[in-house]
Amino acid sequence: MTQTISINPELLIGRGRDRACYRHPDDPDFCIKVGTKPEKQTRREKRYFLYLLRKGVDMRFIAPYMGDIKTSHGTGALFPLIHDDNGEVSLTLTQTIKANQIDRGTLNRKLDQLYRYLVDNHICTRDVSPNNIMVRRRAGQIDFILIDGVSRPNLNPLSIRLPALAKRSVDKCWVSLMQKVNKLTTATVVPLHAA
Ligand SMILES: Nc1ncnc2c1ncn2[C@@H]1O[C@H](COP(=O)(O)OP(=O)(O)O)[C@@H](O)[C@H]1O
Ligand SMILES: [Mg+2]
């Protein structure tokens, strides 16, 4: 019999539009996402992750779905918890910019790196916002990890196999991502050089 994981409010890391994300009570390397809305989109996302896993796609800069888990709040989805090397949950890009913890050069370079990674690996995305990127700091290095928004853009089965369509989905996301990032940086004074 599978065990039911007991979730309590103290474990809450953050809430998005559709899901609440909790620390796994027994394992510091995992988090559990519980839906607050109907699961249609999530099902599509899960299937897409399983497809990427089967294809052996490089998962370096995305947090892959790792299966379902029974919780006191209903069925949850298991993901690796993105944390810094001090054990703290990493900040989202929104929190990082607001807290003035990144310089403009690093911000541009890391966004560029994430963009190239997604396009080179033909990974489709939708809705990539600064709330869906974690800024992970390990061994003096910063990496941007996409924790939400890896998804097939539509129901066309061809769209996950055609590199041009994957690029198109990422390009579309990047326009609105950059608008959001620029809005955040103009509202905050982001230093030009190392923070
Ligand atoms: N893998 C993760 N590691 C650490 N924190 C996470 C992770 N996934 C989500 N979070 C936190 O939880 C919030 C909501 O999760 P998210 O998956 O974006 O939900 P939604 O699909 O509703 O937008 C994020 O903005 C982030 O703060
Ligand atoms: Mg989100």
Q: Name the pLDDT band for 1 (thresholds 50, 70, 90).
A: very low
Q: Mind listing the domains of the chain with CATH numbers? A: 9-80 (3.30.200.20), 91-186 (1.10.510.10)
**pLDDT over 70 at 64, yes or no:** yes
**How far from the centroid of its chain's Cα atoms is residue 116's Cα?**
16
pLDDT of residue 157: 65
Residues 137-163 pLDDT 10s: 999 999 999 999 998 766 666 666 677
pLDDT of residue 37: 73
Per-residue DSSP letters for 132-190?
GEEEEEETTEEEEEE-S-B--SSS-GGGGT-HHHHHHHHHHHHHHHHHHHHHHHHHTT-
Contact 81 CB / ligand 1 (< 6 Å): yes
- For residue 131, how far is its CA from the centre of ligand 2 (angstroms)? 6
pLDDT of residue 188: 81
Which residue of 31, 92, 147, 173 sits with most ligand 1 atoms within 8 Å of its CB, as the best mutation to test the pocket? 147
Residues 5-30 pLDDT 10s: 999 999 999 999 889 999 999 999 99
- For residue 115, how far is its CA from the centre of ligand 1 (angstroms)? 19
